[in-house]
């Protein structure tokens, strides 16, 4: 009998442990449907704001030897627009990513999705390159507490917080989120980084500073998942540099109940989800694991 690769992230049930990370393929319902059919257990939308954001001018993303550097600027059409489009959804497991500066931004957006079928929300408390949102919010414990309390009061579905590495101790952000009633943690977001053109001596990205993603950040992300799951009784989703089933298993062993895939979609396209799912299943069969939950956090025993 084949191993059961379904999993749970707190109250969120997933048929498969691989998810699309926020920001990779925008907000196309058609694309989300295709990725779901190709093996993604859930799809996280691009971060949505209260009103449309244009983002930064080009260049906004560059390919590195082993990853990506981006400063898109959270461009999006706004939560109200996407909520209308999502009203057509009946079967795709979608988690809506939200970004804002104050509690009122988030509660306004939650109201837009009241009658829309979604799995939950993911609060972006960790974008490293946009002022007054993301990491600047995540680095303020009092603001994190107020936002999560406000969102939990309004939301009818589970709420996740996506954390990153900013100027404060990220574990304190996690602690505040847990104490405020968050249902799960996604770790981590991209890391602040930059690149300079040696011919022109100019920063390559228009915003100069961007977020580093892909394989180079995986060891950092694994460490964060391990630390979070060791210190807090909270479901964790691992994110950062996953491009193979071995990478995914590493996150599961560190304490993640599911994983998000981002940069690898750019390299392997839609087939990456089924490839990783199949690899996880074969690994479980080899190691005699019947369920994903049996392997979550095993590395913490040593």
Residues identified as active-site = 127
- Report the distance separating Cα 252 and Cα 235, nearest Å: 11
CA 217 remoteness from chain centre: 14
The reply to whether 217 sits in an annotated binding site is no
Between the two ends of the chain, the Cα-to-Cα distance in Å is 29
The reply to whether 47 sits in an annotated binding site is yes
The reply to whether 218 sits in an annotated binding site is no
CA angle (148 as vertex; 142, 150 as ends), nearest 5: 100
Taking every pair of Cα atoms in the chain, the longest distance, rounded to a whole number of angstroms, is 60
The reply to whether 66 sits in an annotated binding site is no
The reply to whether 72 sits in an annotated binding site is yes
Burial of 52 per CB tally in 10 Å (0-12, 13-18, 19+): middle
- Report the distance separating Cα 58 and Cα 241, nearest Å: 24
**The tokens of 154 are what?**
């309004």
The reply to whether 69 sits in an annotated binding site is no
The reply to whether 214 sits in an annotated binding site is yes
The reply to whether 22 sits in an annotated binding site is yes
The reply to whether 281 sits in an annotated binding site is no
- Report the distance separating Cα 203 and Cα 194, nearest Å: 7
Binding residue positions: 22, 46-47, 70-74, 124, 162, 188-190, 214, 240-241, 262-263
Binding residue positions for FMN: 22, 46-47, 124, 162, 188, 214, 240-241, 262-263
Binding residue positions for substrate: 46, 70-74, 124, 189-190
């Amino acid at each position: 009998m084949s191993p059961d690769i379904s999993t749970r992230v707190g109250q969120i049930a997933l048929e498969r442990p691989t998810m699309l990370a926020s920001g990779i393929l925008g907000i196309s319902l058609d694309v989300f449907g295709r990725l779901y059919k190709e093996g993604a257990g859930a799809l996280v939308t691009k971060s949505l704001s209260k009103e449309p954001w244009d983002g930064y001018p080009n260049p906004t993303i560059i390919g590195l030897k082993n990853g990506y550097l981006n400063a898109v600027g959270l461009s999006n059409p706004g939560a109200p627009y996407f909520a209308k489009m999502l009203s057509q959804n009946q079967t795709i497991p979608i988690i809506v990513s939200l970004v804002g500066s104050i509690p009122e931004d988030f509660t306004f957006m939650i109201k837009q999705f009241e009658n829309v079928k979604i799995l939950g929300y993911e609060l972006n408390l960790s974008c490293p390159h946009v002022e007054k949102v993301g990491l600047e919010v995540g680095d303020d414990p009092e603001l994190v507490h107020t936002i999560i309390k406000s969102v939990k009061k309004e939301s009818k579905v589970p709420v996740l917080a996506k954390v990153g590495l900013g100027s404060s101790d990220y574990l304190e952000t996690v602690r505040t989120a847990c104490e405020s009633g968050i249902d799960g943690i996604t770790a981590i977001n991209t890391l602040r980084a930059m690149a300079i053109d040696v011919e022109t001596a100019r920063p390559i990205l228009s915003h100069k500073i961007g977020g580093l993603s892909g394989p180079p950040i995986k060891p950092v992300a694994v460490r964060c998942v391990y630390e979070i799951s060791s210190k807090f009784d909270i479901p964790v989703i691992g994110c950062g540099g996953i491009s193979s089933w071995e990478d995914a298993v590493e996150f599961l062993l560190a304490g993640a109940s599911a994983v998000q895939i981002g940069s690898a979609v750019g390299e392997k396209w839609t087939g990456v989800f089924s490839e990783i799912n199949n690899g996880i299943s074969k690994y479980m069969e080899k190691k005699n694991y019947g369920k994903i939950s049996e392997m979550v956090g095993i590395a913490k025993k040593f």
